Structure 1
């Protein structure tokens, strides 16, 4: 699987470099956000990922022990191309993700909801992700 091209790739990578994002991680404030989101939405896993050139840097994690993901398998590579939340109710039924190694193997992701983290107008640095091992729905009311 390959990740889709990002028309703002150069701007995103420059912003991540300028912010020196990897230097301020881990961050207790971001961990509080992911802990709250995990609890509030009742999902077993929640992440904040920053999308670098070839990988997703895990800025915060709840329920999943990972610090980096290959960008080719990171759902967030698709999220940063969206104007709003990307919801995948059942990854096994989604052509973009059904053969993804995190769907076919550990941690067996079925549900994904990712909100892009937008910086200075329209630069999407990464995403806040809700993950579950069971298919589920997600609506604006949740």
Structure 2
């Protein structure tokens, strides 16, 4: 995997500024992952936030763990680009074919992740969908739908941050 971008410390600081890591489930985020899974017809959907060492799931459907190591996360790759990142068949992709999330549970074959972009443009995580079956390329409509749900996720994160700031004035 490539070295981290120069703005990684600022990206991490911005993520932590949302005060969302290691918080309980919230209905608004749970609804977004359910909508993503249903809209794209996949068994797994996640709101994944990437800190220094892990990807932590603010909301998840179809996956039990609350987090996985960043070193094996697909979402780390997804936040490096501005657009939806798609892996049609992880088993045949040399970047992922030996990944324990591919060779073992949850047996990822298909992955699509839309970056969660803050107002400053930093990508703090993804809204992603996963299937244990390889899939052809996403349609333009599905790509747009995933990107729109990622925007909806960021709007919810912004509202959450504003509520937190107003309840804890400096």
C-alpha offsets along residues 49-91 of structure 1, whole Å, 9 cap, x if unaligned? 0000000011110011110110011100000001100000000
Kept in 1: contact 2:89–2:134 (CA 8 A): yes
SS of structure 1 residue aligned to 2:73:
coil
Q: Which residue of 2 aligns with 1:68?
A: 67
**TM-score, length basis structure 1:** 0.93
Residue 141 of structure 1 corresponds to 141
Structure 2 residue aligned with 1:37: 36
Contact 2:113 2:126 in 1 (8 A): yes
CA RMSD of aligned residues (A): 1.4
Which one has the largest radius of gyration? 2
SS of 1:66's equivalent? Answer: coil
Q: Write the distance in 1 (CA, Å) between the matches of 2:9 and 2:21.
A: 17
Helix, strand or coil at the partner of 1:128 = strand
Q: TM-score, normalised by structure 2?
A: 0.78
**Structure 1 ranges of 4+ moved more than 4 A:** none
More strand by percentage: 1
Instruction: For residue 7 of structure 1, report the CA deviation from its aligned partner.
Output: 3.5
Structure 2: state its 5+ residue gaps. Answer: 143-170
- Count of aligned residue pairs for this structure pair: 141
Alpha-carbon offset, residue 28 of structure 1: 1.2
Bigger fraction of residues in helix: 2
Tell me the distance in 2 between the aligned counterparts of 1:101 and 1:75. Answer: 11
